[in-house]
A and B are shown apart, each in its own frame.
Chain A
Amino acid sequence: QVQLQESGPGLVKPSETLSLTCTVSGGSISTSYWSWIRQPPGKGLEWIGYIYYSGSANYNPSLKSRVTISVDTSKNQFSLKVSSVTAADTAVYYCARGSREWLLDYWGQGTLVTVSS
């Protein structure tokens, strides 16, 4: 059973870069699509983007200019960076796996990131 665990700072200052890592256990990262999704408090889900294990990425156009997703197969991890954050980036951030581009079949528990000075 694949398990995913997000980690990273829970507080980021405005204009700085948000950085999160998702560690995959119970399976190899060298297959499948690996996504980031976020959910502002009390609001709905927003897909941020995915990376294929080979390194090719696909981003939500609304965030593309500020987002980078990378993969480290040696550590079975993938990461998210969001630059120039504002309060609007405050959200629970989830990582997820999809066996196809259109699937999100395993999710992490999520981590709350607050943007505040």
Chain B
Amino acid sequence: NFMLTQPHSVSESPGKTVTISCTRSSGSIASNYVHWFQQRPGSSPTTVIYEDYQRPSGVPDRFSGSIDSSSNSASLTISGLKTEDEADYYCQSYDSINVFGGGTKLTVL
């Protein structure tokens, strides 16, 4: 099976834009949907992007998802950063089994 690799941590200032990458180790990133979860300390994960770029109702349009076949990676972009966006973010994809990325800790400072 494949792995999904994320940066361990990223940091940015309020109001700025940050992008978190998720690189697939084998097979095409475009072959299976990629989803993104936000997890705040002590809470369950919640979906911020599903099926590559779809936003669930209630998730602000500051959150967007994309796929780049040339780098075999998916990206989560958060614009207009707020301190409440500080959390761990996980990508996930399914190819016979569900696979999670290792998670990225976003610090907004």
- Which residues in A have some Cβ–Cβ distance to B below 8 Å? 35, 37, 44-47, 50, 58-61, 94, 101-105, 107-110
Measured CA separation A108–B43 after assembly (Å): 10
- Establish whether residues A45 and B103, one from each chain, have CB atoms under 8 Å apart when the complex forms: yes
Cβ of B97 within 8 Å of any chain A Cβ, yes or no, is yes
Known: A45-B103, A102-B35, A104-B92. 16 other contacts (CB 8 A): A37-B100, A44-B90, A44-B101, A44-B102, A45-B45, A45-B92, A46-B100, A58-B96, A58-B97, A102-B33, A102-B94, A102-B98, A103-B50, A105-B50, A107-B45, A110-B44
Chain A contact residues, majority secondary structure: loop
Given contacts A61-B1, A110-B44, contact A44 B103 (CB under 8 A): yes
* CB-nearest residue of chain B to A58: B97
Given contacts A61-B1, A103-B35, contact A47 B44 (CB under 8 A): no
Tell which of A94, A101, A107 touches B94, judged by Cβ atoms closer than 8 Å: A101
Max chain B CB contacts within 10 Å: which of A50, A94, A102, A110? A102
Measured CA separation A60–B99 after assembly (Å): 9
Number of A-B contacts (CB under 8 A): 54
B38 shortest CB reach to chain A, Å: 12
User: Which residues 33-80 in B have Cβ within 8 Å of A in the complex?
Assistant: 33, 35, 37, 44-47, 50, 56
Cβ of B32 within 8 Å of any chain A Cβ, yes or no, is yes
Provide the residues of chain A in CB contact with B1, threshold 8 Å: 61
B53 shortest CB reach to chain A, Å: 15
Measured CA separation A59–B96 after assembly (Å): 9
Provide the residues of chain A in CB contact with B56, threshold 8 Å: 105
5 contacts between A and B (CB under 8 A): A37-B100, A58-B97, A101-B94, A104-B92, A104-B98
* CB-nearest residue of chain A to B102: A44
Measured CA separation A59–B103 after assembly (Å): 21
Measured CA separation A50–B98 after assembly (Å): 9
Provide the residues of chain A in CB contact with B99, threshold 8 Å: 47
